[in-house]
Amino acid sequence: MSVTFKRVQRKNPQDQAAPAKYYPQLVVWGKPATLESLSIQMKEKSSLTLGDIQSVLTNFVSAMRTELYNGHSVSIDGFGVFSLSATTEGSEQRKDCTAEKIKAVRINFRASSAIRPNLDTSTTRAEERIDFVDLDTKLQELNMTPADGTDDEETPGGGGGGGGGEDPLG
């Protein structure tokens, strides 16, 4: 497995006088995986039919949503914990602290240590190792970018990055 990164130049928002630095930003390629595409992958590794897998996953999502909306967290062994959190507005008096002060609700996910990416290079199992590929180098190999590798603005195949390692402050 390999994950592509590109170099992005950013200034520190807390110190505008500081020189900008380059940070690796992970690139997301193509379209996202869907319930159907995951179901097809799972079908190839099991004796279940595609319909059985899709039905189970659809029912799982529905049951998880019900549990979250009933105020429970949902813990999935080897995967992580889902829970709700809210953006709220404060009140000076206890009696004014009502449900109307809840402005937005989000679903949070805390990954289990079993699925967190491991950057340890001594990992021997291929499915547990992430290899990082430099976008500039890859594009140069394909003759798709100037030789100086300064084409940082656009990423072919779409997708901005995400994930850890892109925050200039932390």
Helix axes 50-69, 35-44, angle to 10 degrees: 130
pLDDT at 164 over 50: no
pLDDT higher than 70, residue 8:
yes
Nearest alpha carbon to residue 80 among 107, 111, 106, 108: 111
Per-residue pLDDT averaged across 115-120, rounded? 77
CA 159 to each of CA 14, 30, 145: distance values in angstroms, whole numbers, following the listed order? 27, 7, 18
Mean pLDDT of 44-65: 95
Superfamily of domain 2-141: IHF-like DNA-binding proteins (4.10.520.10)
| Confidence (pLDDT) at 3 | 84
Closest CA to 32 of 164, 170, 158, 168: 158
pLDDT band at residue 126 using 50, 70 and 90 as cut-offs: low
**pLDDT surpassing 80 at residue 165:** no
- Return the percentage of the chain with pLDDT > 70, whole number: 78
